Amino acid sequence: MACFQRMPDDTSHSARSASQSLALSGSVLMLMQFDVCEEIRLDRLRQIVSAPAVAPPPLKHPTPSYIRYQRPPVVEAIEPLVLEGGARLPAEIKYYDYGVVSVVFQLPFSGDWETLIRLASHWVWDVDLASHAGSIVRQKVEGARPALIKPYPEFLSEDYFIFHLREIAGHPSANELIHLCGGRIAQVVRGDTTPLSDGECQEVLQSRISYYPDDLAVIGWNAALVYDTPTGAETAIQLLEYANSQLLEFRHYDDLLTRELARVYDSLETHSNLIGRWRLPREASHLQTVLLDVTELTERADNAIKFLSDMFSARLYRLAASKVGVPDYKSLSESKLRTAEDLYRFLIDEFHQARTFWLEFLVVLILLIELVYIFRGKF
């Protein structure tokens, strides 16, 4: 890649100087997401918070297609978060029907690349926004309890950072930006103040996507950099938020199935004798209920958003989901679902074997009793 080719010292120095002096402006979006319940009744919630649904994001290209939520999330404006250092972060909260609540903080910034790199490292690693967001979510969830189905006592959480570059001096194209500032983009996405190796920069910049020559999204596992207008960036931001909410859901399913499988294995050890096997249908019934619930919830989270003829947004989503780890956790959950299904069949088979044994035993016992009475009658 041109960004990492060795150049003469004077050329390399001038390129670095040019990249350092570029004036940037934009904002940092901090996504704090929590899995709070099995399902949120959005119609009921909308009455509680008096908030409208999210409209479909505008597309980057003029086509009749768009991204459509099956059930658009409910958005509620909340008071800005004021940190101890005086930073004031405007915020909003989104409620998704599959039980995820997302708090979005926003911080405008302007400066050069060094400013942005320091800012990225500070917010990604040094500031504990999760605790502040957790307090906000617990307070909001308590007020929204009538709209929640099966609230969880403890909330799983995920965080993600989006660095939106709205303006760059000189309006460079995506290729020019990669050529001049690829290493700095990689630092921002990794949240690292130390320059990265060429190999690591290559790894980060492989996960980039553009629609027009002058827009760019570079997506990492914990953060992303989006270079676009506010309108153009909206689709990428919503898809990144959705991908992270999916990750949170599949993490929850993975934990739930892990606990359920461990409980059933313990039950099998406890009820391994013939008498104990009569209790296995209850275990199988409970396991089947969990399987059905997980399958239904998985389908709801997986199909919460549709791409109607918008192939670029679909590719952007697949890239984002792959980087944050959605396919990995989805595969884990599916593998444990298959294990649970096999275990369900095993429980039923064990019960049938136990029932067959006792039925045969009773038949033999009845025959023996009849034989005893027959022989006693003869003698």
Strand-pair category, 24-40 with 100-111: antiparallel
Q: What are phi and psi of 270, to 5 degrees?
A: -70, -40
DSSP type of residue 3: G
Out of 17-21, 170-174, 193-197, 285-289, pick the least confident: 17-21
* pLDDT bucket at 1, cuts 50 / 70 / 90: very low
**Percentage of residues in the chain with pLDDT exceeding 70?**
77
Q: Provide mean pLDDT across the span 276-302.
A: 67
The mean of the pLDDT values for the chain is 82
Strand-pair category, 24-40 with 67-69: unpaired
Whole-prediction pTM value? 0.80
**pLDDT score, position 346:** 67
Q: What's the chain's Rg over C-alpha atoms? A: 28
* pLDDT bucket at 357, cuts 50 / 70 / 90: low
Q: What are phi and psi of 29, to 5 degrees?
A: -105, 125
For the stretch 130-142, pLDDT in tens is 999 999 999 999 9
Where in 169-284 does DSSP place strands (E)?
Answer: 208-209, 216-219, 223-227
**pLDDT score, position 76:** 92
Asked whether the beta carbons of 196 and 186 are under 8 A apart, the reply is yes
CA atoms of 294 and 166, how far apart (whole Å): 40
| pLDDT at residue 121 tops 80 | yes
Q: Provide mean pLDDT across the span 353-362.
A: 67
* pLDDT bucket at 5, cuts 50 / 70 / 90: very low
Q: Which residues of 303-319 are buried (b: 16+ CB within 10 A; e: fewer)?
A: ebbebeebebbbebbbb
| pLDDT at residue 112 tops 70 | yes
* pLDDT bucket at 379, cuts 50 / 70 / 90: low
Task: Return the half-sphere exposure (C-beta side, CA atoms, 13 A cut-off) of residue 317.
Answer: 21
**Among the listed residues 289, 243, 296, 239, the one whose alpha carbon sits nearest the alpha carbon of residue 263:** 289
Q: Which of 92-106, 286-300, 351-365 has the highest mean predicted lDDT (pLDDT)?
A: 92-106
Element spanning 305, H or E: strand 305-307
| pLDDT at residue 254 tops 90 | no
Opening angle at CA 81, ends 79 and 86, nearest 5: 130
| pLDDT at residue 300 tops 80 | no
Residue spans of the domains in the chain: they are: 2-230, 244-377
Asked whether the beta carbons of 65 and 59 are under 8 A apart, the reply is yes
Residue 6 three-state SS: coil
Q: Provide mean pLDDT across the span 332-356.
A: 71
Query: How far is residue 325 from each of residues 129, 247, 295, measured CA to CA in Å?
Result: 22, 7, 19
* Percentages (nearest 5) of helix, strand, coil residues in the chain: 55, 20, 20
